[in-house]
């Protein structure tokens, strides 16, 4: 296990009805709020009217930035910064999934940055400070509600890049599982895969001896397997939604990654698919993951797949190692198929044309991951296998 500094300062208010804490929490930080949300799901399911009622009845002034796209755009960030500056906003309140939260984070940091906001996406070291953020989560997936990262897309340059700074961590997040009852099947599936992928990125690691992190990771994976399909079949099953929601936060709040090397593989590959084809993040991850697993499984890495197969999928440990590893990958694929995740890039409109360009872009800062480092040719091979 490597050295680490633990810091997960976001206060979590978890459970049905926790929205009641919103006014007192906001007032700790500000009185002029920018409410940030997406394409209107929060208006359909009643979350918007609840939030507005609480703000109005507590004399909290607010302005709105709506229409944040899935794969949030730098254009929305620019609009948000302008609104904050024009109205002396002192608090940002995203209500939605990772896209609204990520957009808010970069607005919050961009507010203090003099230059063009895309600069702080390209180079996070330019971030010095951020306006305080509190999130109301409506989709279990990204973990953005409890971490310092944000992913923003620039459609002009076909770039989708991650940025982050500790100042961008939400001060608090409200996690009411009933707010996710209206998440459609496909987004529930994509969210479940995203949570699992966040775990995989840290679980399949070159760091040895991080026993506690690996056992915690397996429990999150088992939670997704236990409840992902159930939440699709029974969207109002509180137990399923609650477990997925907490799994989303725990998978990417730092807990599982502390003490391990943290260079990721599948996410940088997927971000290129989303940058060029604007596909749903979790779907891209679901397509790539089994092919990535097959590609990186070798004599050096096989023990991690055996551990995964035995501890997560309950495969008999007495079987031959190679058989266990292959079975574990097959079970992963079968699980994604059971969630109706497509298994080929062509099914989401991605052909051969841009595979090479995307493989080069994914490795623009060097090879991916340390578990089994991937150069641009490796990434291209995985893309081709996934076609
Ligand atoms: O836009 P609205 O109308 O709200 O609809 C959204 C959107 O269409 C809908 N939705 C959300 N909550 C709902 C709902 N529909 C009905 N009922 C509800 N309760 O779901 C769709 C997807 O929403 P979005 O916020 O885009 O999804 P998600 O949370 O999966 O976020 C994806 C973005 O986060 C980035 C991804 O790359 C992608 O851009 N990521 C952010 C990370 C982070 N900050 O740590 C890490 C992740 O790996 C990921 O890269
Ligand atoms: Zn993700």
Picking from 179, 200, 233, the residue at the C-terminal end of a domain is 179
Asked if residue 315 is part of any domain, the answer here is: yes
Q: If we measure between CA atoms, which residue out of 89, 97, 47 comes closest to residue 64?
A: 89
My answer on whether 188 and 175 are in the same domain is no
For residue 53, the domain's CATH number is: 3.40.50.1970
Reported as a pLDDT band with limits 50, 70 and 90, residue 262 is confident
User: What's the average model confidence in pLDDT over 138-163?
Assistant: 97
206 and 227 part of one domain: yes
Is the C-beta atom of 363 inside 6 A of ligand 1? Answer: no
- 144: CA distance to ligand 1 center in Å? 10
Kindly give the distance from the C-alpha atom of residue 78 to the centroid of ligand 1, in angstroms, as a whole number: 19
Is 195 found in the same domain as 137?
A: no
Confidence (pLDDT) at 211: 97
Residues 313 and 343 in one domain: yes
Distance (Å) from CA 126 to ligand 1 centroid: 26
CA of 70 to the centre of ligand 1 (A): 6
Both 89 and 130 in one domain: the answer is: yes
Where is the domain boundary, 149, 179, 209?
179
Q: Is the CB of 102 under 6 A from ligand 1?
A: yes
- Domain identity same for 292 and 145: no
The reply to whether ligand 1 has any atom less than 6 angstroms from the CB of 283 is no
Question: 127: alpha, beta or left, given left = phi > 0 and alpha = psi -120 to 50?
Answer: beta
Does residue 226 have its Cβ closer than 6 Å to ligand 1?
no
- Based on the number of CB atoms within 10 Å of its own CB, is 90 exposed (0-12), middle (13-18) or buried (19 or more)? middle
Q: Is the CB of 143 under 6 A from ligand 1?
A: yes
Task: Among 96, 107, 150, 248, say which to mutate for ligand 1: greatest number of ligand atoms within 8 Å of CB.
Answer: 96
Instruction: Report pLDDT digits (tens) over 48-100.
Output: 999 999 999 999 999 999 999 999 999 999 999 999 999 999 999 999 999 99
**What's the domain range around 329?**
184-385
Which of 39, 141, 251, when mutated, tests ligand 1's pocket best, judged by the most ligand atoms within 8 Å of its CB? 141
Q: Is 70 in the pocket of ligand 1 (CB under 6 A)?
A: yes
pLDDT at 59: 95
Ligand 1 centroid to 328 CA: how many Å? 28
Counted domains in the chain: 2
Q: State yes or no: pLDDT of 343 exceeds 90.
A: yes
**Mean pLDDT computed over every residue of the chain:** 97
Task: Please name the residue whose Cα sits nearest to atom 20 of ligand 1.
Answer: 187
Give me the mean pLDDT over the 162-180 stretch. 98
Based on the domain organization, do 162 and 304 belong to the same domain?
A: no
CATH assignment at residue 214: 1.20.1090.10
Give me the half-sphere count of Cα atoms (radius 13 Å) on the Cβ side of residue 240. Answer: 20
CA distance 338 to 348: 17
pLDDT tens digits, one per residue of 192-225: 999 999 999 999 999 999 999 999 999 999 999 9
Tokens for 359? 């493989």
Q: Are residues 147 and 195 in the same domain?
A: no
The residue whose CA is least distant from atom 3 of ligand 1 is 39
Condensed to tens digits (0 to 9), the pLDDT of residues 221-239 reads: 999 999 999 999 999 999 9
Are 87 and 146 members of one domain?
Answer: yes
367 lines ligand 1 (CB under 6 A): no
pLDDT in tens, 278-331: 999 999 999 999 999 999 999 999 999 999 999 999 999 999 999 999 999 999
Query: Ligand 1 mean position to 377 CA, how many Å?
Result: 31
| Residue 186 Cβ < 6 Å to ligand 1 | no
Domain final residue, candidates 179, 195, 225:
179
CA of 298 to the centre of ligand 1 (A): 34
Asked if 16 and 129 sit in the same domain, the reply is yes
- Spatial distance between the Cα atoms of 97 and 1, rounded to a whole number of angstroms: 33
Residue 2 lies in a domain: no
pTM across the whole model: 0.98
Q: Is residue 5 part of a domain?
A: no
Please choose, from the candidates 203, 108, 84, the residue with its C-alpha nearest in 3D space to the C-alpha of residue 165: 108
User: What is the 96 CA–ligand 1 centroid distance (Å)?
Assistant: 7
Residue 303 has a pLDDT of: 97
Residues 155, 22, single domain; the answer is yes
Same domain, 205 and 232: yes
For residue 98, give the ligand nearest its CA: 1
Q: Given this model, what pLDDT does residue 194 score?
A: 98
């Amino acid at each position: 296990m490597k050295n680490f500094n633990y810091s997960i300062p976001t206060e979590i208010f978890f459970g049905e009805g926790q929205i009641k804490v919103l006014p007192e929490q906001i007032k700790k930080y500000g009185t002029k709020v920018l409410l940030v949300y997406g394409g209107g799901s929060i208006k359909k399911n009643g979350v918007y009217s609840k939030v507005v009622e609480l703000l109005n009845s507590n004399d909290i002034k607010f302005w709105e930035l709506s229409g944040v796209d899935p794969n949030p755009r730098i254009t929305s960030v620019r609009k948000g910064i302008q609104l904050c500056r024009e109205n002396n906003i002192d608090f940002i309140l995203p209500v939605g999934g990772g896209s609204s939260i990520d957009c808010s984070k970069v607005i919050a940091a961009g507010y203090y940055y003099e230059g063009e906001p895309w600069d702080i996406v390209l180079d996070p070291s330019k971030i010095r400070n951020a306006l305080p953020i509190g999130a109301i989560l409506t989709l279990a997936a990204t973990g953005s509600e409890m971490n310092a990262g944000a992913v923003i897309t620039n459609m002009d340059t076909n770039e989708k890049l991650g940025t982050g700074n500790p100042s961008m961590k939400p001060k608090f997040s409200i996690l009411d599982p009933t707010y996710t009852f209206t998440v459609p099947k496909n987004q529930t599936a994509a969210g479940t895969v995203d949570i699992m992928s966040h775990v995989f990125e840290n679980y399949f690691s070159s760091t040895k001896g991080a026993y506690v992190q690996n056992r915690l990771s397996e429990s999150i994976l088992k939670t997704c397997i236990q409840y992902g399909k159930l939440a699709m079949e029974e969207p109002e099953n509180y137990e399923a939604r609650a477990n997925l929601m907490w799994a989303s936060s725990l998978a990417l709040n730092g807990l599982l990654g502390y003490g391990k090397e943290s260079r990721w593989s599948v996410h940088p590959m997927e971000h290129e698919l989303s940058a060029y084809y604007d596909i749903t993040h979790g779907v891209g991850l679901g397509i790539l993951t089994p092919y990535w697993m097959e590609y990186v499984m070798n004599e050096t890495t096989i023990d991690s797949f055996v551990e995964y197969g035995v501890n997560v999928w309950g495969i008999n440990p007495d079987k031959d190692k190679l058989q266990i590893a292959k079975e574990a990958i097959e079970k992963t694929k079968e699980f994604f198929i059971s969630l109706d995740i497509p298994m080929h890039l062509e099914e989401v409109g991605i052909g051969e044309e841009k595979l090479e360009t995307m493989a080069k872009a994914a490795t623009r800062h060097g090879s991916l991951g340390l578990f089994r480092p991937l150069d641009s040719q490796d990434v291209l091979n995985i893309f081709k296998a996934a076609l």
